[in-house]
Amino acid sequence: MKFAVVVFPGSNCDRDMAFAITEALGQEADLVWYQEANLSDYDGILLPGGFSYGDYLRSGAIASTSEMIEQIRQSAERGKPVLGVCNGFQVLLEMGLLPGAMLPNKNLKFMCHDETLIVENNQTLFTDFYQDKEEISIPIAHGDGNYYCDEATYRNLRDNRQIVFTYGSNPNGSVADIAGITNEQGNVLGMMPHPERAVDALVGSEDGLRLFQSILTHWRNNHAINA
């Protein structure tokens, strides 16, 4: 399986994401500069964390208007897995692939520590390797991670089982403790915590690795069916 790690000016978790794919998962990953992107040959699209365009206007806002955003949208429409982490999640919100918006953390401070997540839906292509309601340890690192949506949007997310991860102890004020959501089709996931920073026991947790293993296994199963 071949992944594209999309790099914007200000991305700073791109190499962490590539490491998770190449070293921990054992698959291919290219760092793809946003101005040179051709995503047609990739099986999965990864939007890493960081501070694209310095978080000017709003986090992810300028990146969401770049020339390659339409390719990300087309990849999602074709059913390819698209994962946006931290700033990548913010980009997915700004471009409308996922509903809602990000606000500054409730304490108005940048937060960086390990956080307990609860797996709310283990029947997605991202979460097959987790148990339902399993508690996992994934680090956070953000200043604008306070997920917001209106009541109608929250009901839709809940009823469609699009809420994939919640915080065990809500660190940033997010509505309903939400840490990660998918689109209705289930092939686009946005999450504020960093699974790519939890793929090796040496850094304190391997819980993030199973997310990437889930993507890979799902892709292999589909590839075998369509072969």
Q: For 71-81, write each residue's pLDDT tens digit.
A: 999 999 999 99
Position 226 scores a pLDDT of 67
Yes or no: say if 115 and 167 are a contact pair by the CB < 8 Å rule.
yes
Yes or no: say if 32 and 74 are a contact pair by the CB < 8 Å rule.
no
Spatial CA neighbour of 179 closest among 127, 214, 131: 127
Cα–Cα distances (Å) from 121 to 17, 64, 76, 149, 201, in that order, read: 23, 27, 20, 19, 24
- What is the Cα–Cα distance from 124 to 49, expressed in whole angstroms? 22
- The percentage of the chain sitting over the pLDDT mark of 90, rounded to a whole number, equals 94
Tell me which residues are annotated as active site: 86, 194, 196
Answering whether pTM is above 0.75, one says yes
Encode pLDDT of 171-205 as tens digits.
Answer: 999 999 999 999 999 999 999 999 999 999 998 99
Pick the CATH number of 2-226 from 3.40.50.880, 3.55.50.30, 3.40.50.720, 3.90.1150.30: 3.40.50.880
**Arithmetic mean of pLDDT, 79-99:** 98
